[in-house]
Amino acid sequence: MTTRALEAARNGAAAAPATGHARMKRRAGRWALRGLAGLVFFFIFIPVIFVLWISLFQQQIVSFPPEGYTLRWYENAFARSEFRHGFGLSLQVAFIAMVIGVTSGAAGAYAIVRFRFPGREAFNTLLLGPLVVPGIVAGTSLYVYYIMVENLLDVDFRGTLHGLVLGHILLTIPWTVRLVSASLVGLDRAVEEAAMNLGAGPWTTFRRITLPMMRPGLVAASLFSFIQSFENLELTLLLVGPGRTTLPVAMLNYLEFRIDPTIAAVASVQIVLIGALMLITDRFVKLSRIV
């Protein structure tokens, strides 16, 4: 629907000038486009704004209009150890999963784009696979799989840090493969050939030319991987253990017992963190150009 509206707007803009009728049509097209953009913004940002707003409400049971404003829900959020620890664990898991996932995902993307080998298509599909498996299904499968591996190897996986990280790496791989492949496909091979022509061996060429040119893709992949892991609930649910709970799971647990703006305060912290990450990243590579 969106594309069609956009197209209509573009056609409107491209229509022949001169006649008043065409101009009217063009103007109408432009307004339609603006209206649509506004609508999209509205639907994306309204929930975010409401969360931020509600986190400041005075009353415990959320109702409108607010009776007053307070910061005590933030105090409560920071005071509760499950949120503090959850936040710490989520950061830790997201960071490790990002580093491992982006490294291996980028290597996979490189192989897929650059080399012709049997099973290349299948490999590509496999790496994008986690994108289509619902999180809860993936989580359950991992859970069962971990039990099997635990029995076989006598190593704990469920409820451990490495178990969590391994699961989250699955989340980061498809994003990395997509974003890095895109940046590699757009890379002019002649640039690498020029480096070799000037005397750079394959490794030097990769390090000095290819890698820097992949940088925007890698930065974007890191950002999205981090966010995917940091926010994940479904896949994580079954993998956490006692005393080892990520922030989203901690929030869900909290909600089972009470509903008050504390949750909104925690979510606000999440939103601000991710927003800041995106802004910082955008300073280094223009995200709008890559994604």
Query: Interface residues with other proteins (CB under 8 A)?
Result: 188, 190-191, 193-201, 204, 208-209, 212-213, 215
Between 43 and 115, name the residue whose CB sits nearer to other proteins: 115
Between 191 and 278, name the residue whose CB sits nearer to other proteins: 191
Q: How far is the CB of 116 from other proteins (least distance, A)?
A: 15
Nearest-angstrom CA–CA distance, 11 and 20: 16
Give 5-9's long-range contacts (Cβ < 8 A, gap of 24+): 5/32, 5/33, 5/36, 6/33, 6/36, 8/32, 9/33, 9/36
Nearest-angstrom CA–CA distance, 93 and 225: 11
Q: How far is the CB of 199 from other proteins (least distance, A)?
A: 4
CA 219 remoteness from chain centre: 12
Q: How far is the CB of 210 from other proteins (least distance, A)?
A: 11
Between 71 and 191, name the residue whose CB sits nearer to other proteins: 191
Between 67 and 188, name the residue whose CB sits nearer to other proteins: 188
Q: How far is the CB of 213 from other proteins (least distance, A)?
A: 6
DSSP codes, 130-173: GGTS-HHHHHHHHHHHHHHHHHHH----TTSHHHHHHHHHHHHH
Q: Provide the β-strand partners of residue 2.
A: none
Q: How far is the CB of 216 from other proteins (least distance, A)?
A: 10
Q: How far is the CB of 197 from other proteins (least distance, A)?
A: 5
Between 221 and 250, name the residue whose CB sits nearer to other proteins: 221
Q: How far is the CB of 209 from other proteins (least distance, A)?
A: 6
Decide: 246 and 139 in contact? Cβ < 8 Å.
no
Helix (H, G, I), strand (E, B) or coil at 241: strand
Half-sphere exposure of 249 (CA within 13 A, CB side): 23
Helix (H, G, I), strand (E, B) or coil at 57: strand
Between 192 and 260, name the residue whose CB sits nearer to other proteins: 192
Neighbours of 225 (CB within 10 A): 28
Helix (H, G, I), strand (E, B) or coil at 69: strand
Between 4 and 189, name the residue whose CB sits nearer to other proteins: 189
